[in-house]
Chain A
Amino acid sequence: MSMDIGKFLKSPEYEIKITTYRDIFQAEAMERDRFGEEYKMFSAAISISKIDMQKMGLKTKDRVRISNSHGSIIVEAKEAKKDEPGGLAFMVNSPWSNSLVSGDTQGKGIPEFKNINAKISLSKEEITTLETLIDTFTRKSITV
């Protein structure tokens, strides 16, 4: 009986720099239903240049874990449509991208929403849901 050694091996991890942008289709989906599938589809995704996808052995629709000391999420990878030179990946601004943003603003009050450093690796886990992102903060009651 052959053994699938691959499943015991940890997927290689790569350093990745991410910036965020706005997308009209995601904004439309948010206006309609922030908790809907469409909003999740546009938000829980990372767009990576063809050259970087090849370097990391990723293909469109692969699920990837993106982590840093601020948070960790599972999103879908997709190859950037435009001819991006590489070195920078893109996520639509959302609670998913904000999970990776530092809370430290050097006392100035403006976080580095568009300047994220993280690690990325192939994952077989399910895409992080909005409910998962909220669960930690759900509470029953606070006495005033």
Chain B
Amino acid sequence: MVTCTGCALLCDDIEAIVENNRIKETRNACRRGAARMKGCVNRLVPSIDQQPTDIESSIRKTVDIIKNARSIMLFGWNNSTCEAQAKGIRLAKKLNAVIDDTSSFCQGLLIERILQKKLRTCSLDDIRNKADVLVYWGSDAQDSQPRHLSRFSYFPRGESRQRGYEEDRKAIAIDVRESNTAKICKGHFYRIPLKGDREFILALIEALSGKVPVYDTKKMLELAGILKKAEFGAIFVGIGLTYSIKEDFDILIALAEKLPNFNIMPMVGHYNMRGFNEALFKETGFVNRVKFEKEAIHDDKYSIMESLIEKNIDAIMIVGSDPLASLPRPILKDLASIPVVCIDPCISMTSKIATVTIPCAVTGVESGGTAIRMDGKLIRLSKIITSGYMPDEEIMDRLLEAIS
């Protein structure tokens, strides 16, 4: 059995059938996981100024860039092992660099509050064994973490839930669209308007407090009734909810306080976002957006978005991320106007504009290590086939060695 790195569920029950040192087939993996394990069609090659070169030259050029930059950002990290992340953080400290990851514009707000213990949480195994009420809020797990419902939440027979979804579990979806997950939550789909989550939460808090909410009174009282009866509930917070309440995120804490039998689970996409957030939190007390000087300084201005808008970084090294694909178009010119080092197994939009590219091994396929699942559990990653590509961790070792 091997581990899939398709998402932060880190499914460790995958069978990989290897033929001629390639993964020919996988069993148990979802569509995304299977595709990731089989590999991309376009592997990255080392390059400088978009001209192919050898890996040693790419590493030397990267050392030049990171040494000479006045203020460099080290960005990405969510598709790297815990070991590579730890070395990346060490590199940032040595360089007095800004360090940020994709949680900066994803689930960072939520994971920060979970690590600060402001929100109650539990393990996915607890959910499988005990949960009776499951709330998918702004989360379409069926498309983003496709085995969530089958491995951990709705469908399995758990220790205290031997009758599974037929009798023992109730799934609820709260969303702006009838997602594939919402279709499974038959009869318990609550459609809300775009950016309507805050109003919905306020009304739900009223209903849970015994008041009559003005907002969709009947449905709200019905929902409050189901939640109150839960013995062990879970709210799966998707990016839809996080984005919608980002200006007033602590409203989620107020709701959680009204639901003592519920736990909050961050629905994380990238397989090791939580790993990076935990490592940086342990080191600095913050999950992202940190600048290392004499001490670690955390500020929104050190987010990748604001750093590019404010032009306060003069180079960027990107590890396992494709910000040219995932950031808003208006700021891409700012990204493309500074030296970019791109470390990735595959050709990406970012690699196409990078000053230097360094190809790396596909973690979980060509190199092993560890990662942190969305619920905080440490999971071992497998090395399934051999390749000549350097793991991220080894690239970090080379950079650390070169600057010391």
Interface of A is mostly: loop
Q: Which of B32, B325, B328, B355 contacts A111 (CB 8 A)?
A: B328
Known: A19-B177, A103-B331, A114-B243. Contact between A140 and B306, CB under 8 A? no
- Give the Cβ gap from A85 to chain B, nearest Cβ, in Å: 8
A-B contact count (CB 8 A): 172
B28 in the interface (beta carbon within 8 A): no
Q: What chain A residues lie within 8 Å of B325 (beta carbons)?
A: 34, 94-95, 98
A32 within 8 A of partner (CB): yes
Q: Known interface pairs A28-B32, A114-B243, A134-B349. Does A33 touch B40 (Cβ–Cβ under 8 Å)? A: yes
Does B143 reach chain A (CB closer than 8 Å)?
yes
Contact of A8 with B by CB under 8 A: no
Compute how far the CA of A74 lies from the CA of B352 in the bound complex, rounded to whole angstroms: 22
A110 close to chain B: CB less than 8 A: yes
Q: How far is the CA of A95 from the CA of B328 in the complex (A)?
A: 8
20 A-B pairs within 8 Å (CB atoms) are namely A24-B142, A27-B32, A28-B31, A32-B38, A34-B322, A71-B330, A90-B177, A95-B326, A101-B328, A103-B328, A108-B303, A109-B104, A110-B105, A110-B243, A111-B105, A134-B324, A138-B50, A138-B352, A141-B355, A142-B339
Q: Is A61 an interface residue (CB 8 A)?
A: no
Q: Is the CB of B328 within 8 A of A19?
A: no
Q: Which of A91-133 contact B (CB under 8 A)?
A: 94-95, 98-105, 107-115, 130, 133
User: Closest residue to A99 on the B side, CB-wise?
Assistant: B329
**B163 close to A (CB within 8 Å):** no
* Distance (whole angstroms) from the CB of B217 to the closest CB of chain A: 20
Q: Which of A9-27 contact B (CB under 8 A)?
A: 17, 19, 21-25, 27
Main secondary structure of the interface of B (DSSP, over half): helix
Separation of A115 and B303 alpha carbons in the complex (Å): 20
B312: interface (CB < 8 Å): no
Residues of chain A within 8 A (CB-CB) of B6 are 31
Q: How far is the CA of A43 from the CA of B146 in the complex (A)?
A: 19
CA distance A2 to B25 in the complex (A): 60
